[in-house]
Chain A
Amino acid sequence: MADGPLAARPVSLVDLLDRVLAGGVVVAGEVTLCVADIELVQISLRLLLSSVSALTAGSPAAAARTDPEVQ
C-alpha cells in the first residue's frame, strides 16, 4: 500500500466517525472510557445533528434502514 493514497484521501467526517467510533478493535484499557460503543456513536450523531443548522425532513428510508444487515 503506497503512502500517498491513504495519506491524501479526502475523508468525510460522517464516514470517518462510522469507522473510528463503531469500528476498530475494542480493548479494555485501564483508563478506557466505559462508554458503550453504541453510546459513543449516538453522542456523535446527536452532536452532528445539532450542528446542522438547516434540518431537512428525514426520509422514511433512513429510519427504516438503520438495521445493520441488508439481508
Chain B
Amino acid sequence: MTGSQTVWLYAVTRGDADSSPPAVRGVAGEDVRVLTEGPLTAVVGSVDARRFGPDVLAGHLENLDWLATAARAHDAVVAAAAARGPVVPVRLATLFSSDDGVRELLRGRRGDFQSALAAVTGRAEWGVKAYVDPDSLADSLSAPDAATVPTGQSGAGSAYLMRRRAKLAARQSAQSAAGEWAQQIHARLRPLCAASRLHPAQDPRLTGRRDWMILNAAYLVDQDRTEPFHALVRQLTEWQAGLDVELTGPWPPYSFAVPEGAQPGERHG
C-alpha cells in the first residue's frame, strides 16, 4: 500500500470465519481485503486518499449519484461478508489512514465487536413497512358528523364550516387509527424477533407513494423463525382494508449494530 491510499472499513466479522476476502469490488472498484486481529476480522479496501480525503468526501456525499453508488457498493461488500457468517456492518464512509488504525480499533473494541457479533449470529434483519391508503381508511371509519350536517336554517356558511370540521375530524381519527394499527403490527411482530428498531417514516416524495407510511421497522429474526415471521407479515397484509405491509430483506444487521449509548431499539428475550 502506498502513502496515497486510505482504508475504507466495511464490516467486522469473526476471525475464525473464512479469512479469504469476499469476491466483490469495493466503493472505489478496489479489491476487498481482510485484516485479522485475534478473534476479529475487518473487511476493508484501499482507496485513493485524494479521492476519499475528508474534504473531498464531504463533497461526494452531497452528490446523489456518488452517494447511491457508494451505498450500493458498500452494501454489496457487507452482504457478501454476511453471506459467509455473522457480520457487524460499519457505517458508510468510515476511513482510516492505514491498516494499523483498523487493527488498533479491533484490539481496542474487541469486547464490543464480539458481543455485537454474538447478538446477530444465526439471525438476519428484516424490514417491515406498513402503508395505509388515507381515503379508504377514512371511508372505513364511520363519520357520523359528516352525514348529519344540517343544510337548512344554519345557512351555507355554517354548513361549510361544519363540513370542514367533520372532514378535519375524520382525518384526525384516520391518523389516530393509523397510529393504532402501526402499534398493533409492531406488537404482533415483536414476539417473533430477537430485537427490533423503528426507523423514521420515509418521505412520501421518496417512496413515490401517496399512502401514509405508518411503520418503518427493522426486526432481527432468528433463522429458524424466518418462516413464522414471514407468515405473520403476510397475514398482516390482509388484516385491514386499505393496509399494505411490505417486507424487505434479508439485510445484514445494519439496524442492530448501532453505536454505544444510542438507543438501538428493543432487545427481546
Contact = CB atoms under 8 A, between A and B. Distances in A.
A65 B90 contact: no
B200 interface: yes
A34 B258 CA distance: 17
Nearest to A67: B200
A30 B104 CA distance: 11
Interface stretch (B33-41, B55-63, B145-153, B230-238): B55-63
Interface of B: 6, 9, 12, 52-54, 57-58, 61-64, 67-68, 71-72, 74-76, 79-80, 82-83, 88-97, 101, 105, 109, 113, 116, 124, 127, 134, 171, 175, 178-179, 182-183, 186, 198-207, 210, 212-218, 223, 248-252, 254-259, 263
A61 B206 contact: no
A9 to B, nearest CB: 7
B205 A25 contact: no
Given A24-B90, A61-B201, A68-B198, A32 B95 contact: yes
Nearest to A21: B92
Given A25-B12, A61-B214, A68-B198, A48 B254 contact: no
Interface in A38-71: 40, 43-45, 47-52, 55-56, 58-62, 64-71
21 contacts: A1-B124, A7-B80, A7-B83, A11-B72, A17-B67, A18-B202, A18-B216, A20-B75, A20-B89, A20-B92, A23-B91, A24-B254, A26-B259, A27-B109, A29-B9, A29-B94, A43-B62, A47-B62, A49-B203, A62-B212, A65-B201
B61 A43 contact: yes
A69 B264 CA distance: 11
Contacts of A23: 89, 91, 218, 254-258
